[in-house]
Amino acid sequence: MFKRNLGTVDRAVRIVLGVILAAISMLVFKGTASTIVGIVALIPLITGIVGFCPLYVPLKLSTVKAK
């Protein structure tokens, strides 16, 4: 559907960051703050899994190595 614009290292960093933020949201924060941090954690996690970052498109960025 979308052309991948995240390289392997970028994807791995985003997935790890998303998991860490999700853990922090569950273990450190309570109530509304936990929900907000949990939602923010979904952004790097989903973009890392999918391999596409919509913010990279208007900035014309890509971390995928050229063949």
pLDDT digits (tens, 9 = 90+) for 33-43: 999 999 999 99
pLDDT of residue 64: 95
pLDDT of residue 18: 97
Tokens 């979904």 label which residue? 42
pLDDT of residue 66: 79
Q: Name the residue ranges covered by the structural domains of the chain.
A: 12-52
pLDDT of residue 52: 96
DSSP per residue over 2-66, as a string? ------HHHHHHHHHHHHHHHHHHHHT--THHHHHHHHHHHHHHHHHHHT--TTHHHHT---SPP
pLDDT digits (tens, 9 = 90+) for 9-28: 999 999 999 999 999 999 99
pLDDT of residue 22: 96
Are residues 1 and 31 in contact, defined by beta-carbon separation less than 8 angstroms?
no
